[in-house]
Amino acid sequence: PTCREALKQARGFCDGGLPWLILSGPAGTGKTHLVRGIAMRLIKEGWVAKYWSSLHFTTLLHSTQAQGSTVNLMDVIEQNANEELLILDDWGVETLSPWVISQYEGLLDRRWDSLMPTIIATNLPASEVRGISHRIHSRMNDVSMSVWVDMMGAKDYRQVMRRSQEF
């Protein structure tokens, strides 16, 4: 699908479609722009949205394990499991240890079980998500709960703009 298909699915998500939206595509295809647009629209409608760069969320998870940390792992999971809308951007770009994967699985399982609206944007194709976690991949692919928009064929707009400026 093209970026137009991603926009169509984003509008459907905002209009009360399936509770999970997965955007998968290379860097520069507009995934972050689109998820932030969704968040802005829903916030204007009274929603509460929590946006995380996956790298920052993973860093937060690790910080709960540091000696003397005042950040409690269960509090982090609980808070994010109960957010009205949770957005995880750039999921999977960082190195995910088995411990971190299990934390994501726990968080996403709770959101799944509660039918909580969740958006995941990733640079990974479906096959690589499956390699990280079959459990998360299975939930992302459940057509009764989520829409997976595969933008792997889309072009990096930064490269397209740069080439157009060279002439």
Residue range 110-153, pLDDT digits in tens: 999 999 999 999 998 888 887 788 888 888 889 899 999 888 76
Closest CA to 34 of 122, 105, 100: 122
Supply 85's token pair. 């809308």
Asked whether residue 53 carries a pLDDT value surpassing 90, the answer given is yes
In whole angstroms, give the CA distance from residue 92 to residue 138. Answer: 16
**Around 2, how many Cα atoms within 13 Å sit in the side-chain half-sphere?**
1
Report which DSSP code applies to 76.
H
Residue range 66-119, pLDDT digits in tens: 999 999 999 999 999 999 999 999 998 888 899 999 999 999 999 999 999 999
pLDDT at 152: 78
Residue range 31-46, pLDDT digits in tens: 999 999 999 999 999 9
